[in-house]
């Protein structure tokens, strides 16, 4: 529903060349909204950006340095696009007192789903949480006794053969 509302709002504002999103939600840590916005807009999504810069090409495109477990990855994507940013992207800007005072004078614009031409079907969640719980973890840990790694390994193999996890050899 959140992604549908955001995508509809973007469309109502005549679209956007670039939609920047955080990489995940602070409430449930799912991180699916940016991908769903991209799906709704028919735009590509690039995740976990460390940096984003225009390539200066026509049509517009951006070069993105992505953070991956294997190291940085550089990709280029045509606009419009949705990009999620990582905490490595720049330093946060904190509002100054004059900026805070100016913000108090701005009247927010309220937008309803009806303003965005969304009906109940368009707002219906596609995924419903059926249950959320903390699983009970039962520890079946068993310490293998012995006088060092070789003996531990031998006893482990014997136990795995007894439990029929491994087949005994000749």
- The helix/strand/coil state of 7 is helix
Task: Tell whether 134 is covered by a domain.
Answer: no
CATH number at 62 reads 3.40.50.620
Contacts 24+ apart (CB under 8 A), 106-113: 111/9, 111/12, 113/5, 113/8
pLDDT value for 62: 93
Task: Tell whether 99 is covered by a domain.
Answer: no
Task: Tell whether 100 is covered by a domain.
Answer: no
User: Could you report how far apart the first and last alpha carbons of the chain are, in Å?
Assistant: 62
Task: Specify the length of the chain in residues.
Answer: 170
Identify whether residues 158 and 81 lie together within a single domain: no
Residues of the chain with pLDDT under 50: none
pLDDT value for 86: 83
pLDDT value for 19: 95
pLDDT value for 11: 92
Task: Tell whether 98 is covered by a domain.
Answer: no
Q: Which of 22, 34, 148 shows the shortest CA–CA distance to 89?
A: 22
Q: Name, in order, each residue with C-beta under 8 angstroms of 51's C-beta and a sequence gap of 6 or more.
A: 64, 65, 89
| Domain encompassing residue 70 | 2-89+108-123
**pTM for the model:** 0.68
Identify whether residues 41 and 73 lie together within a single domain: yes
Identify whether residues 79 and 15 lie together within a single domain: yes
Measured distance CA(24)–CA(9) in Å, rounded: 20
In the chain, alpha helices (H): 2-12, 33-41, 97-104, 120-123, 149-162
pLDDT value for 123: 81
Task: Tell whether 129 is covered by a domain.
Answer: no
Task: Tell whether 63 is covered by a domain.
Answer: yes
Number of domains in the chain: 2
Q: Which of 42, 88, 39 shows the shortest CA–CA distance to 65?
A: 88
20, exposed or middle or buried, with CB in 10 Å at 0-12, 13-18, 19+? middle
Task: Tell whether 96 is covered by a domain.
Answer: no
pLDDT value for 124: 81
């Amino acid at each position: 529903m959140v992604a549908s509302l955001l995508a509809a709002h973007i469309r109502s504002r005549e679209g956007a060349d670039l939609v920047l999103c955080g990489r995940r939600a602070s409430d449930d840590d799912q991180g699916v909204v940016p991908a769903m916005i991209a799906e709704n807009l028919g735009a590509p999504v690039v995740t976990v950006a460390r940096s984003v810069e225009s390539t200066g090409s026509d049509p517009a495109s951006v070069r993105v340095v992505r953070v991956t477990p294997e190291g940085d990855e550089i990709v280029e994507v045509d606009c419009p696009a949705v990009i999620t940013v990582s905490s490595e992207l720049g330093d946060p800007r904190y509002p100054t007192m004059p900026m805070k005072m100016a913000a108090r004078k701005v009247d927010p614009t309220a937008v309803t789903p009806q303003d965005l031409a969304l009906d109940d079907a368009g707002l219906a969640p596609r995924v419903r949480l059926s249950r959320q719980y903390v699983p009970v973890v039962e520890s079946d840990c068993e310490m293998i006794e012995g006088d060092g790694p070789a003996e531990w390994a031998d006893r482990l193999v014997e136990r795995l053969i007894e439990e029929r996890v491994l087949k005994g050899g000749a």
